[in-house]
Amino acid sequence: MESTVAALTAEFGNLVVTAAATREQHGNTASWVENQPPDAVVFPQCTADVQQIVRICAANGVPIIPFGTGTSLEGQVNAPFGGISVDTRDMNKVLAVHSEDLDVVVEPGVTRKQLNEHLRDQGLFFPLDPGADAALGGMAATRCSGTNAVRYGTMKDVTLAMKVVLANGEEMITGRRAKKSSAGYDLTRLFVGSEGTLGIITELTLKLHGIPEAISGGVCPFPTVEAACNAVITTIQTGIPVARIELMDALQVKAVNAYSRLTLPETPVLFVEFHGSEASVAEQSAHFGEIAQEFGGGPFDWATRAEDRTKLWQARHDAYWAAGALRRGSKSIASDVCVPISRLAECVAATQVDIAASGLVAPIVGHVGDGNFHLALLVDTDDHAEVSRAKALLERLVERALAMDGTCSGEHGIGQGKMKYLDAELGKPALAVMAAIKAALDPAGILNPGKIVACG
């Protein structure tokens, strides 16, 4: 390790940092797993730098942990075996905007807000929004989705192609800029969601959309979570192209009211947004209002002003912090599952019962158009009994989701935190295939070891 750091320092000078604070920040994790800092952090400026870093680490068998903004939630950037954190912060250039093709080429350190600032003048936007101002490389690596995914898809859908540095230091492209291709194995989708375990993303070509002519939306209260979920099912089934449709349970609304100084009714609510022409958003909104009413929800005031809408969505984004503020001094453990939408109400309701029975505090938010919801489990980590109850609750959450043909991770990835669930979800043959792919592409096991699949 020492010689690796020395070799990196010889090459990259003060772009190699070994200060404890920097290392700890790069081992950031929002999971149960403790902070496991890398031995050093290096800040490449270009793909060639990443190749050089990989070659140096590979020569010494030293782990490489790619780092975007460190906003992943399952320990993806932790360094359980030590190693070098490769922070793409400085690779933050928007390389090309192709407005006619509705795509953009970026370096991996560009964040989603930075990209949207860059695009605004051209009437274009990048729709994915996980809340945090995450780096696009990290968003691809964890197969991020977020609030707009119900309409615009996840990172697997919006990533056209990538440039990746492989374990041997070679640079590979995963695809071309054509909107579709059937040319061989889908390397783009293989690397989206691979969490740095197969290669390091150094360039991304992403799909864009025109900024919609009109946006409408607002908040709609419901008597129960079931009623809200049933309204969502009907909305999706009717083909209303809703852009975002987000559930908060009553506890989360209470948290948001306190944190963001709102006066929402403290019942389950849906935050809803429609994109389209003036006429189309009016029609969509009215239609949704009727559906909500059918299920006992409403009133749905959709003709909100842009400022009010911005305030609402800011509150939605701050839900994680608002939840944390419900119980000062607690650690917020965020976990998510995703189930077929027909099972969503049942899954959320059973989880609420379980939370209450466990004596825990855990507000719920959900990207319910996709059947995806999150707990923010507020835990006093000094109380071992409570930690045990919380861990058991999360185990049951995943079991419940899997029993409903769902997944242990809708959008947070696997990282360290959810490796133990993959067998129950997909079975041994799938795990063996993942391990075979990992071994084929990274035989020495130097790329983000200890994530997704066990090495060697």
Check whether the bond before 443 is cis (ω within 30° of 0). no
# residues contacting its own copies (CB under 8 A): 94
Specify the residue, 59 or 178, whose C-beta has the smaller distance to its own copies.
178
Q: Measured from the CB of residue 283, what is the shortest distance to its own copies in angstroms? A: 6
* Residue 436 interacting with its own copies (CB under 8 A): yes
Query: Which range binds its own copies by CB under 8 A, 41-49, 323-331, 354-362, 370-378?
Result: 370-378
Q: Is 136 near its own copies (CB under 8 A)?
A: no
Which 248-287 positions form the footprint of its own copies (CB under 8 A)?
Answer: 275-277, 279-280, 283, 287
Say if residue 371 is exposed, middle or buried (CB neighbours under 10 Å; 0-12, 13-18, 19+).
buried
Q: List the beta strands (DSSP E) in 229-371.
A: 244-248, 269-276, 331-338, 364-367
DSSP type of residue 227: H
Q: Which residues, 6+ apart, have CB-to-CB distance to 14 below 8 Å? A: none
Candidates 17-25, 208-216, 249-257, 377-385 — which segment interacts with its own copies by CB under 8 A? Answer: 208-216
Identity of the residue numbered 306 = A
CB of 144 to its own copies, least distance (A): 8
CA distance 447 to 456: 12
* From 84, 135, 140, 149, residue interacting with its own copies (rule: CB under 8 A): 149
383-412 residues near its own copies, rule: CB under 8 A = 401-402, 405-412
Smallest distance from the beta carbon of 154 to its own copies, in angstroms? 6
**Could you tell me the strand order of the sheet in which 64-67 lies?**
16-17, 40-42, 84-87, 64-67
Amino acid at position 65, single letter:
I
Please report whether residue 371 would count as binding its own copies according to CB under 8 A.
Answer: yes
CA distance 212 to 3: 54
* Least spacing, CB of residue 248 vs its own copies, in Å: 20
Q: How many other C-beta atoms can be found within 10 angstroms of the C-beta atom of residue 296?
A: 15
Binding positions for its own copies, 41-100, rule CB under 8 A: 98-100
Q: Is 444 in the site for its own copies (CB under 8 A)?
A: no
Q: Which stretch binds its own copies (CB under 8 A): 4-12, 229-237, 259-267, 291-299?
A: 229-237
Instruction: Among 49, 87, 103, 203, indicate the residue that binds its own copies (CB under 8 A).
Output: 103
Instruction: Tell me: does residue 196 bind its own copies (CB under 8 A).
Output: no
Of 27 and 130, which has the nearer Cβ to its own copies? 130
Rounded to whole angstroms, the Cα distance separating 25 from 223 reads 43
Q: Does 187 bind its own copies (CB under 8 A)?
A: yes
- Going from the C-alpha of 232 to that of each of 214, 237, 342, 409, the distances in angstroms are 22, 8, 10, 21
φ, ψ of residue 223 in degrees (nearest 5): -70, -35
Exactly one of 104, 251, 434, 455 binds its own copies (CB under 8 A); that residue is: 434
Residue among 1, 46, 172, 325 that touches its own copies (CB under 8 A): 172
